[in-house]
Chain A
Amino acid sequence: MADPHETPAAHGADATHATTSAEHGSGGGGVPQFQFEHWGGQIAYLLVLFVITYVLISRVFAPRLRKVIDDRAATITGALDTAKQVQAEAEDQARAAASEVGEARAQAQRVAAEARAKASAEAAEKSAAADAETGAKIAEAEARIAAMRESAMANVGAIAEDAAKAIVEKLTGKTATAAELKAAGGIA
């Protein structure tokens, strides 16, 4: 609190401030910021520090930081590019694998279809052969049946003639001739 009193270069404003401050019992010499004799040294020193700081920042610190930030951006971009490339490669491979799988599946289906066709053709052939054999047997059996029926029918004629002869003999007492019987059989 000694300085303000040592510098008697009190301006008008300072003097009034001094009285108001003194009323508060602090004994101050006005608002200290308006003691202009201290301005020159502070301003000069601040200007020097400002220039040094400015030069250091513009020449050293800012370029260094920019370089790091640019490096980082480049690294990130490079990594992203690499990742994209790898991803594209992987997609290509996946596509190739998928097409291979598709091809294999198609081939398998083709093989299966061939096998199926072959098997069904064989089966058809076999069944045709069996059908033919069965048909032959059936025809043979039918022929035999027909022959048997013919012979049976022939026997039936003879039996009918015998029966008719016997009936005629019983009724008339005469023996019918074979020609008469035949004619009667033809009428019947």
Chain B
Amino acid sequence: MASPLEQFEIHKLVDFPDVTLPLVGHVDLAFTNSHLAMTIVFVAIVAFLSAVTSKAQVVPGRLQTIGEGVFGMIDNLTESMLGHEGRKYFPFVFTIFLLILGMNLLGMMLTFTATSQLAITVTFALLTFGLVMIIGVVKNGFGFLKLFWPMGAPLVMRPAVGLIELISFFLRPLTLSLRLFGNMMGGHVALKVFAGFVASAAIGSLGLIIGPPVGLVSMAMVVALTALEFLVAFLQAFVFAILTCIYLNDVVNLDHAH
């Protein structure tokens, strides 16, 4: 029986010569199964959006209805959280949402889940965090620091609350990346463990007495967990999009909120 962690291993499909960059160090250049998963997701997203929008009609067909539903969901999210500025940041949130959702869902079909790679979730989190930082500084200048000076708190409390705000602000990329990473990895490990019990029971390695009940219970767990994981796949992508909107709102509407 293979380790439940085997599914997270990176395999090189096409190897390229490795490079050593001055700051990063040794970089293993190769087209791996992770790259393949990302490529499939990317192609699927572009194909889906092309199919939805290429023959878009005033009276939508089935596919267009789905596409407009997803579009409208994120559009409403950015609009309701960021106000009239929402449209400007919609493409960013929509891109993040679609890529994460695509990778999560592809993980339910393939053996490899790109969003269970910490490297991927860290990249998404840093993209969001970086955008928040850039917008915060460009839009507000030094006023950006007002984010850490809570005007609602009593004066004596402000330094302490501000310090907490500052720490929590810089923990955001960590929480963003670990939430997605942990959810996807945990779910797939659990699925694999129960599926492994089913396989063990099926080949009789658990014995004839405890084997069948364990196999049946595990099979039920696999079915239930699969349904749950589909929910988690969508929910985590949506949570990421919502949090991106919340963090963007902090800096986009800094003057109104504080």
Contacts and interface: CB of A to CB of B under 8 A. Distances in A.
Contacts of A43: 119-120, 122-123
B118 interface: yes
A28 B3 contact: yes
Given A32-B9, A54-B91, A41 B28 contact: yes
Contacts of A65: 52-53, 56, 67-68, 71
A39 B134 CA distance: 24
Contact of B10 (A28, A35, A50): A35
Interface in B169-212: 181, 185
A4 B9 contact: yes
Contacts of B52: 61, 65
Main secondary structure, interface of A, reads: helix
Contacts of B53: 60-61, 64-65, 68
Contacts of B50: 61
Contacts of B6: 1, 26, 28, 32
Interface stretch (A69-77, A100-108, A109-117): A69-77
Q: Select the residue from B2, B56, B57, B119 with max chain A CB neighbours within 10 A.
A: B119
A72 B58 contact: yes
Contacts of A7: 28
B10 A32 contact: yes
B55 to A, nearest CB: 10
Nearest to A44: B27
B148 interface: no
B90 A62 contact: yes
Nearest to A4: B9
A47 B42 contact: no
A149 B10 CA distance: 153
A108 B49 CA distance: 71
Interface in A22-44: 24, 26-28, 31-35, 37-43
Given A41-B28, A65-B68, A68-B58, A31 B5 contact: yes
Given A4-B9, A68-B57, A53 B68 contact: no
Contacts of B24: 40
B98 A53 contact: yes
Interface of B: 1-3, 5-6, 8-12, 21, 24, 26-30, 32, 34-35, 38-39, 42, 45-46, 49-50, 52-53, 56-60, 64, 67-68, 71-72, 90-92, 94-96, 98-99, 116-120, 122-124, 127, 181, 185
Interface of A: 1, 3-4, 7, 9, 21, 24, 26-28, 31-35, 37-43, 45-47, 49-50, 52-54, 56-58, 60-62, 64-65, 67-69, 71-72, 75
Given A43-B123, A47-B127, 5 more contacts: A4-B9, A26-B3, A32-B5, A42-B123, A68-B64
